Structure 1
Amino acid sequence: MPSTIPRTESARINLRTSPEAKALIERAASIMGATVSSFMLQNAYEAARRIVADKDTLMLSQDAFEAFVASCEHPAEPTQALIDLMALR
């Protein structure tokens, strides 16, 4: 099982599971030709990466994107309330 996990140092993760889950994980690792540790690490790492990427990625429609770009390129003049708020710094 090829690894895409960055390797610089070693850190330990412990977990407990049911005998049924352990047996299934061991079987899956064996099918993939991997150790249980490498199988679990690779799959957990990939799932974590997807979850974080989903959280960190903002998807916009083309219209919303164009409106966002336009507002960045031509920002509105600050209101008096914003000017007053920034003066509080």
Structure 2
Amino acid sequence: MPMPNQQTRTARLEARISPDMLNLVKRAAEIQGRSVSDFVVAAAQEAAQRTIENTAILRISIEDQRAMMEAILNPPEPNEALRKAADAHKRLVVDSH
């Protein structure tokens, strides 16, 4: 994953960590041939992207998947509330164009 070049880095991020954590981060950065700063920025970016992507993925149980597919394949007849909502939508949205 490409890192922003030095010229575009204008914001500063600070964090307090334990000496043991700093040693761990330094070791990992060294293994990857990066500076500690580049390593931390890349790790934070990857974690942020993963977190955001995970919110876009819908995770449901097998039982819920089956229930959803059943509802899609064999939808129930519309009830009175749904018919009223559809009529209101037609009046307010479709007919107003």
TM interval, short-chain normalised: 0.5 to 0.7
Give the structure with the higher percent helix.
2
Percent identity of the aligned residues? Answer: 27
- State the partner residue of 1:67: 67
1:38 aligns with 2:21: no
Tell me the TM-score normalized by structure 2.
0.59
C-alpha deviations, 1:6-62, integer Å up to 9, x for none?
Answer: 87xx464421233857x9176242343102332122211221122223322222232
Gaps of 5+ in 2: 93-97
Aligned length: 83
Q: Report SS of the residue matched to 2:49.
A: helix
Tell me the TM-score normalized by structure 1.
0.62
* Higher RCO structure, 1 or 2 (CA under 8 Å, sep 6+): 1
Greater gyration radius:
2
What is the distance in 2 between the residues matched to 1:84 and 1:11? 55
Q: Report SS of the residue matched to 1:54.
A: helix
Gaps of 5+ in 1: none
Could you list the runs of 4 or more consecutive aligned residues of structure 1 that deviate by over 4 angstroms after TM superposition?
A: none
Match of 2:12 among 14, 19, 41: 14
